Amino acid sequence: MSARGGLQSPVADIARQARELLVQVRESRWPGFDTLSQQSASPSTPAPVRKLAAILREEPSPWSTLEQIAQAVSACTGCPLHATRTQTVPGEGASKARLMFVGEAPGADEDRLGRPFVGAAGQLLDKMIAAMGFARDQVFIANILKCRPPGNRDPLEHEVAACLPYLLAQIALIRPEVICSLGRHASHALLERKDSLGKLRGRFFDYRGTPLLPTFHPSYLLRTPADKGAAWKDLQLIMHRLKPSGPEQHSPEEYDR
Ligand code: URA
């Protein structure tokens, strides 16, 4: 385990070496770099090139505070969603949160208020956080996309590629001990795999050295309350991981209403 509880694995080590090589590519001033690093937002670019481009855009992060990231997000025109948003929703919470939740994208309420998870799903997420023994402002809550997709449609691949550098920069600054991805879209985007959420949820993955646990999205739980018990088990795994200085456990009834 690293100093902040992150996993050290051969895969994380290889990923780190790959990122270091990509930084060297950037610093070599290779003339193709600028073109390549802009390709992550183009839907016609092949997926592997988009991934490489996203990594090239990502390292090193030009931002040293969460406020700087929020400012960059508010000025972002990196994908077509900027044209239809009311407000950007960069995310909010403790700058040194031990636990970070990552959802999919802002909905209508979030787009109106510029804050993540403030609608019905947000109220359930608040109860889940409280049941874990945290106050909302002790964790950090963000989304894969910082702008609302029109009509709440699913995020598109090129939107995710364009937006992910902001989330990665937030994770790098906060350095949470655990990340909890909420739902299929957030889990797929972070883990870069397309297994069903049923297969992914309830176990830890190594996300660039940080333990990541996928669980159900609160919107899904509102539609499928029968799965709240399984979600509570997932959250308990996180609480166990955050011990010994973790929060006191509350009863599931606190969010299972
Ligand atoms: N759903 C999300 O994924 N994020 C929000 O902020 C709100 C609803």
Is the CB of residue 89 less than 8 Å from the CB of residue 116?
yes
The pLDDT tens digits of the residues spanning 114-126 come to 999 999 999 999 9
Q: Which atom of ligand 1 is nearest to the CA of 89?
A: 6
Burial class (CB in 10 A: 0-12, 13-18, 19+), 256: middle
Question: What's 141's DSSP letter?
Answer: E
With 80 as the cut, is the pLDDT of residue 31 above it?
Answer: no
Alpha carbon nearest to ligand 1 atom 7, residue: 117
With 70 as the cut, is the pLDDT of residue 190 above it?
Answer: yes
With 90 as the cut, is the pLDDT of residue 44 above it?
Answer: no
What's the 3 CA to ligand 1 centre distance in angstroms? Answer: 31
Q: Which atom of ligand 1 is nearest to the CA of 186?
A: 3
- CA angle centred on 159, ends 157 and 162, rounded to 5°: 110
Extents of the domains making up the chain? 10-254
Residue of 163, 219, 220 to mutate, ligand 1, most atoms within 8 A of C-beta: 219
Question: Domain 10-254, CATH 3.40.50.1780 — does that match?
Answer: no
Which pTM does this prediction carry? 0.77
Cα–Cα distance for residue pair 139/176, rounded to 1 Å: 9
pLDDT band at 189 (very low <50, low <70, confident <90, very high): very high
Lowest mean pLDDT among 26-35, 57-66, 199-208: 26-35
Protein residues with CB under 6 Å of any ligand 1 atom: 103-107, 110, 116-117, 119, 121-122, 143, 219
